[in-house]
Chain A
Amino acid sequence: EADIYQTPRYLVIGTGKKITLECSQTMGHDKMYWYQQDPGMELHLIHYSYGVNSTEKGDLSSESTVSRIRTEHFPLTLESARPSHTSQYLCASSEAAVDTQYFGPGTRLTVL
């Protein structure tokens, strides 16, 4: 069973607030990913990392930023939340050589 955690699971916040979505995995995976997914819609990759101190932007332009200081931790930050950021955010991880991804439970973000 995959051990990848996301907090908070649900977040309702006002416009202009700074937020950080947490993602941690205990599997020692080098690769980690952040996806954005609206209900019933496709997954969009917004950030990924190949390892510590490695971060890359994904296919979907995002106003969020990420960091990878520790292997197990890959937080995503929005400096100033807007209603357009309302969505589900999914974190995933995989081993470097085998790209089977394990997903966390997700954070459902609502910006009022």
Chain B
Amino acid sequence: QKEVEQNSGPLSVPEGAIASLNCTYSDRGSQSFFWYRQYSGKSPELIMFIYSNGDKEDGRFTAQLNKASQYVSLLIRDSQPSDSATYLCAVNPPGSGGYQKVTFGIGTKLQVIP
């Protein structure tokens, strides 16, 4: 079982719809969770991070964390063609002293259809 699992997609949504991207992780003790966006041919860039159960909102983006079920999701409201990219989920496993390293999922490719 992979440490961080994502459906590679592509996930196609019409412009203006809500895009829902999901990620599951295997280590129950994981502490922090990140969503990165990567445009084709570019480097990943951080969208959001979340540490606590529940929702965290930033503009059109909402990250949702459920530690009991070991999943984290990213909702994109009012999806725009410019949101078309690959979205990477990253998980920080349990550890101490800063000696843990983040594990990335394979990424979900999102296509927003005009």
Task: Tell me the A residues contacting B by CB distance below 8 Å.
Answer: 30-31, 33, 39-40, 42-43, 45, 48, 50, 90, 94, 96-97, 99-106
- Tell me if B80 counts as interface (CB < 8 A to partner A): no
Interface string of B58-85 (1 = CB under 8 A from A): 0000000000000000000000000000
Q: Are A100 and B44 in contact (CB under 8 A)?
A: no
Q: Are B43 and A105 in contact (CB under 8 A)?
A: yes
Q: Are A101 and B46 in contact (CB under 8 A)?
A: yes
A39-B44 Cα distance, complex, nearest whole Å: 13
Interface of B is mostly: loop
Count contacts between A and B, CB distance < 8 Å. Answer: 47
A33-B100 Cα distance, complex, nearest whole Å: 13
- Say yes or no: A103-B44 contact (C-beta < 8 A), given A31-B98, A42-B104, A43-B88: yes
A40, A101, A102, most chain B CB atoms within 10 A: A101
Contact check: which of A39, A42, A45, A106 meets B43 at CB < 8 Å? A106
A106-B38 Cα distance, complex, nearest whole Å: 12
Interface bracket on B: 20 to 34
A90, A99, A103, A106, most chain B CB atoms within 10 A: A99
- Tell me if B17 counts as interface (CB < 8 A to partner A): no
Interface string of B21-55 (1 = CB under 8 A from A): 00000000000101010001111111001000000
Q: Are B43 and A99 in contact (CB under 8 A)?
A: no
A105-B38 Cα distance, complex, nearest whole Å: 11
A31-B98 Cα distance, complex, nearest whole Å: 9
Q: Are A100 and B46 in contact (CB under 8 A)?
A: yes
Q: Are B98 and A97 in contact (CB under 8 A)?
A: yes
Contacts A45-B101, A105-B43, A106-B42 aside, 17 further interface pairs with beta carbons under 8 A come to: A30-B98, A31-B98, A42-B107, A43-B104, A45-B104, A48-B101, A90-B43, A90-B44, A94-B102, A97-B98, A99-B32, A99-B100, A101-B36, A101-B46, A101-B90, A102-B46, A103-B45
